[in-house]
Amino acid sequence: MKYERIKSLLGDDFSKLQNAKVLLLGVGGVGGHCLDCLSRSGVANITIVDFDTYDLSNQNRQMWSELHEGEIKVESLKKHYPHIETINAKIDEQWVWDFDFDEYDLVLDAIDDIKAKLALAQKCHKKLISSLGSAKRLDPTKVQVGDVWKSYGDKFGSKIRYELKKRGFNKKYKVIFSAEEAKVKDKGSFIGVTATFGLVMCSEAVKKIVSK
């Protein structure tokens, strides 16, 4: 009964969700909502990677954060999604180069580290969906999906494209981005936007899985 309605929507393709192996990098404001969406949609094989702990500043936008202040994120999320695999690690550039992505059908990038994001693009662009900047914005209707070279309206995304060109990278991969101009310069964030990024990432992941 739990998946009856998503099965009704996808038909025989639902089995593809249960057989796919998904790697989700980062489970903060974007990644946490993506994880919840994937899990409720029937994706059975999910591995999450994060090194952080929950603190009070997370509670305006991060799933379950008010229940686990001071606790390690991946360990806390395992309590809510017991079927997931967890890796407690800091995702930096070296971690990306060292990690074996071969067993995963899809890699979902919800991290903030620019050098790690660049390495991800270089190493696994064919199965990558990446989140650009979700902070400092208020309008979820401005969230869009496109290939990295067609994204716009985001200084973080502009920096990613500039650095990729410097590395001689010209491949396409899918990104979630907002065309809305940033409202502030500091670390402002609104769950209406960060959650939308995560849900759109989940939607794109589901569509990619069932299209195979």
Positions in the chain short of pLDDT 70: none
Q: Given this model, what pLDDT does residue 136 score?
A: 87
| Cα–Cα separations (whole angstroms), residue 124 to 23, 47, 62, 104, 183 | 12, 16, 27, 10, 33
Q: Measured between alpha carbons, how far is 91 from 112 in angstroms, rounded to an integer?
A: 9
Q: Given this model, what pLDDT does residue 202 score?
A: 98
List CB contacts of 12: < 8 A, sequence separation 6 or more. Answer: none
Q: Given this model, what pLDDT does residue 105 score?
A: 97
Longest dimension (CA), the chain: 51
Q: Given this model, what pLDDT does residue 186 score?
A: 82
Q: Given this model, what pLDDT does residue 187 score?
A: 81
Q: What global pTM score does this model have?
A: 0.96
Q: How many helices (H) and strands (E) does the chain have?
A: 8, 7
Long-range contacts of 3-12 (CB under 8 A, 24+ apart): 3/41, 3/42, 6/40, 6/41, 6/42, 7/42, 10/210
Rounded percentage of the chain residues whose pLDDT exceeds 90: 89
